[in-house]
Amino acid sequence: MACVSKPELIKLQKTLKTDHAIGQKFGVSRQAIHQFRLKYGIKANTAKNKERDLKIICSYKKGKSIQEISQELDLSYSHIYRIIDKNSALRRKKK
């Protein structure tokens, strides 16, 4: 397995963002990178997810389509739906 140093992992996390993308660069699984993060005590890039989720919900409320939101944020349709489904009251109002 490729060994990723702590400074290198921190740098890659800022540029590539996800464990999956970092794993692809080194030819290892997402889980292997996750284990390195745990070993080094590096937190995942999830802090910005709340801001992103709020942006998705606001865009959806304003009438943007799932496709538009997906393209804007470079996320899959299913991921957008999952985020919106977290806020089930919003989905019920939209229907």
Q: Is the pLDDT of residue 91 over 70?
A: no
Q: Does residue 11 form part of some domain?
A: yes
53 and 74 assigned to the same domain: yes
Range of the domain at 23: 6-40
In terms of domains, do 34 and 57 share one? no
Instruction: Note the Cα 46 to chain centre separation in Å.
Output: 7
Look at residue 1 and tell me if it is in a domain.
no
How does pLDDT run across 9-49, given as a tens digit for each residue? 889 888 887 888 888 888 888 899 999 999 999 888 776 78
Which pTM does this prediction carry? 0.55
Same domain flag for 34 and 58 = no
On whether both 54 and 84 belong to a single domain, the answer is yes
Q: Which residues of 49-88 are buried (b: 16+ CB within 10 A; e: fewer)?
A: eeeebeebbebbeeeeebeebbeeeebeeeebeebbeebe
In sequence order, which residues have a C-beta less than 8 Å from that of residue 72 and are 6 or more positions away? Answer: 59, 64
The answer, yes or no, to whether residue 89 has pLDDT greater than 80, is: no
Q: What is the pLDDT of residues 43-81, one digit of tens each?
A: 887 767 888 888 999 999 899 999 999 999 888 999 999
Together in a domain, 62 and 86: yes
Domain count across the chain: 2
pLDDT at 92 over 60: no
Q: Are residues 55 and 86 in the same domain?
A: yes
Evaluate whether residue 33 is within a structural domain: yes
